Structure 1
């Protein structure tokens, strides 16, 4: 079978038609996907995203599921969604109850490692992160609200979570189970919060023996309070992507 020499006009015209067809096809597919992104976003389970994650539809569109954020996290807080996540398979997320982002890296290494800007590259400090907002979901179960202290391992001997205790090691997080507590009044959520003034305890009786956690504007939704809470189910939860003042 003969082929046309590449220098012939017929060949050049055929090649241009082919490239135009390919370009049109790519454009149509791209436009269709862009239209479907808001719909696709609804199919993806609501998850706490890594620090700096841009708006959900844009995040799902730009994240290439490379796992670089997973690799650099010092506490292994970031996971890639499994196949049961449907359209969200391979997308990075954080299960704060199992392992929160405690900002052990200080410089938010996951953002620096992201090659696509899915994690906002303009964020350089942990205080600028907005992952969500903590919420006291079960106030009646809070130990502090009952005037109770806490002794022992915050999540038990089998808990695998890590946390940076600066008084023990400035740079390396250690297992939570290796750091038992002896507290007259439980204040673990306040004590271990990596963001100054993000959470505080407020008196709820005249004697000052009972207190309640209060979430403040500085909260970035890192999830440490949810992870460290010794009550099961946890008293404090993170509402993903919720911002301060939002209804």
Structure 2
């Protein structure tokens, strides 16, 4: 049987889209090797943002990921991420004071209401680093600073456009 043409197991899943991993995830090859697929991180997540990958995610089956459009990571309200604290193998690991870097938000200006002339500040207001990771250019259009964006996905979750005009590109190669 020939696999579906969009199936790319090496890329971690369906349609080749990389999964957005929880805070502190090691680079993907190490993460996949260390993750026990125990689900403790998902149980510890106070926002229930962490999901467990299923068979359609290929080699990532059983590992944690975040579907930001549905429920983004709120970075545990600025506290140490609970998911990393309970990971028994340190597949999710953050040193104290280490910044969270899960991905980078990318705006599709052809779909963004603010970039098309409407007034919308949903992503700007949802960002925990408002005014730093997402700024308003000309007081109207959101612009992401990739050096400061954590990739939490709150901007994507709160986007008013369907599908979202902003999405998080995972950093985890």
TM-score by length of 2: 0.84
1:147-175 CA distances to partner (integer Å, 9 max, x unpaired)? 32xxxxxxxxxxxxxxxxxxxxxxxxxxx
* Equivalent position to 1:44, from 2, 8, 12: 12
- How far 1:62 moved relative to its partner? 0.2
Q: More relative contact order in 1 or in 2 (CA 8 Å, sep 6+)? A: 2
Point out the structure with the larger helix share.
1
Specify whether residues 195 and 41 from structure 1 end up closer, same or farther in structure 2 by C-alpha distance, changes over 3 A only: farther
Is contact 1:139-1:235 (8 Å) kept?
Answer: yes
Give secondary structure in 1 for the equivalent of 2:75. Answer: coil
Aligned residues: CA RMSD:
2.1
Q: Equivalent residue for 1:190?
A: 124
Displacement over 3 Å in runs of 4+: none
- How far 1:44 moved relative to its partner? 1.9
Q: Equivalent residue for 2:89?
A: 116
- How far 1:188 moved relative to its partner? 1.2
1:134-153 → structure 2 map (5 Å cutoff):
134-136=105-107, 138-148=108-118
Q: Which runs of 5+ in 2 are unaligned?
A: 1-7
CA distance in 1, matches of 2:81, 2:101: 12
Give secondary structure in 1 for the equivalent of 2:156. Answer: helix
CA distance in 2, matches of 1:129, 1:103: 8
Is contact 1:100-1:223 (8 Å) kept?
Answer: yes
* Equivalent position to 1:202, from 137, 141, 148: 137
Q: Which runs of 5+ in 1 are unaligned?
A: 1-39, 149-184
